[in-house]
């Protein structure tokens, strides 16, 4: 069932758990995430970055594939199709393509411009029945070629953006995309607590879910995080399982080269990773 992400995240905030956003890259990814969410009876968010959208030949293709697959697989749990780190133009394209949720990432803009554009997109998204996420304080690491330094958001700016009528807020608290370096200082919980104090019932979003130790994930949820984004970790397990299959020479046995066989271990590895995360976030059984 394709829905916007507001209700599932409001429930998560009230129930002290988090909904996973798993980024999708192709058919196998989408199928793996949908099937696992259904098995776990968990609400789920499919994240699509602009780069991944382009790779899949455009947002129209993605929306058509997700809607059709949701129906053909008989998925009953709430599923949101969400633009991840959208530009202003990308957000508008996803509204037209039939996504159910968008993120506008104006974190690299001066705060006044971020506010003006977010406000405009809030009106547009809500008019179309969609939920909208905004970002304050750039998330570090690399995503689609954009490199941030993992800054911490200014809690007062978070309050200003939260007051624009957005549905959930991504705030930098020292988190970064991709694998964390050995000298990473960990999440800045004092900043998170301050943001939570000022933004009240607003569901907060933790980007860069890959590699954050479980105890820090749990503490972040206690402090008001209701949506956690995971991308790189699924890519890593997919690659490792595919490598193992090929290195064992299985693609050369019988029809092991058939893509339906070749891509199966990677797909199963994504399913196992998504299950592990859903259970860690506590969203299993919450659909």
**Cα–Cα distance measured from residue 131 to residue 221, given in angstroms and rounded to the nearest whole number:** 21
Angle, in degrees to the nearest 10, between helices 264-281 and 27-40: 40
Residue closer to ligand 13P, measured from CB, 73 or 149: 149
Residue closer to ligand 13P, measured from CB, 47 or 266: 47
Q: Scanning the structure block, which residue is given the tokens 């780069």? A: 51
DSSP summary character for residue 149? -
Binding site for ligand 13P (CB under 6 A): 23, 47, 84-85, 177-178, 207-210, 229-233
Residue closer to ligand 13P, measured from CB, 47 or 53: 47
Which residues contact residue 221 at a Cβ distance below 8 angstroms, ignoring those fewer than 6 apart? 16, 17, 18, 228, 281, 282
Residue 9 sits at φ, ψ, to 5 deg, of -80, -35
Residue 139 C-beta: closest distance to ligand 13P, Å = 6
Residue 212 C-beta: closest distance to ligand 13P, Å = 8
**Cα–Cα distance measured from residue 285 to residue 39, given in angstroms and rounded to the nearest whole number:** 9
Residue 74 C-beta: closest distance to ligand 13P, Å = 28
**Cα–Cα distance measured from residue 245 to residue 247, given in angstroms and rounded to the nearest whole number:** 6
DSSP string across 59-87: HHHHHHHHHHHHHHTT--S-EEEEEESB-
Residue 273 C-beta: closest distance to ligand 13P, Å = 11
DSSP string across 194-252: HHHHHHTTPPEEE---TT--HHHHHHHHHTTEEEEEE-HHHHHHHHHHHHHHHHTTGGG
Residue closer to ligand 13P, measured from CB, 91 or 230: 230
Residue 149 C-beta: closest distance to ligand 13P, Å = 15
**Cα–Cα distance measured from residue 238 to residue 227, given in angstroms and rounded to the nearest whole number:** 23
Residue closer to ligand 13P, measured from CB, 207 or 275: 207
Residue closer to ligand 13P, measured from CB, 23 or 114: 23
Residue 275 C-beta: closest distance to ligand 13P, Å = 16
30 within 8 A of 46, measured Cβ to Cβ: yes
Active-site annotation holder among 70, 84, 105, 167: 84
Active site residue 10: no
Decide: residue 3, CB within 10 A, 0-12 exposed, 13-18 middle, 19+ buried.
middle
Residues with a catalytic annotation lie at 84
């Amino acid at each position: 069932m394709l829905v916007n992400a507001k209700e599932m995240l409001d429930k998560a905030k009230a129930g002290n758990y988090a909904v996973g956003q798993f980024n999708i890259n192709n058919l196998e990814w989408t199928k793996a995430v949908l099937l696992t969410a259904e098995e776990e009876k968990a609400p789920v968010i499919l994240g699509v970055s602009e780069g991944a959208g382009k790779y899949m030949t455009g947002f129209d293709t993605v929306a058509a594939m997700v809607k059709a697959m949701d129906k053909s697989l008989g998925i009953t749990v709430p599923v949101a199709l969400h633009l991840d780190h959208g530009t202003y133009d990308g957000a508008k394209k996803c509204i037209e393509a039939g996504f159910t949720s968008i993120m506008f990432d104006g974190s690299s803009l001066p705060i006044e411009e971020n506010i003006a554009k977010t406000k405009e997109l809030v009106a547009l998204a809500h008019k179309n029945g969609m939920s909208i996420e905004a970002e304050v304080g750039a998330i570090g690491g690399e995503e689609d070629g954009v490199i941030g330094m993992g800054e911490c958001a200014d809690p007062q700016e978070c309050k200003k953006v939260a007051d624009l009528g957005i549905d959930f807020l991504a705030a930098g608290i020292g988190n970064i995309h991709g694998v964390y370096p050995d000298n990473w200082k960990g999440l800045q919980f004092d900043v998170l607590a301050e943001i939570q104090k000022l933004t009240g019932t607003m569901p907060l979003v933790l980007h860069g879910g890959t590699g954050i130790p479980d105890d820090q994930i749990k503490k972040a949820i206690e402090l008001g995080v209701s949506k956690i984004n995971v991308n790189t970790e699924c890519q890593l397990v997919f690659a490792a399982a595919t490598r193992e299959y090929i290195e064992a020479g299985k693609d050369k046995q019988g029809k092991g080269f058939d893509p339906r066989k070749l891509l199966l271990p990677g797909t199963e590895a994504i399913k196992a990773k998504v299950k592990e995360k859903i259970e860690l976030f506590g969203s299993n059984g919450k659909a």
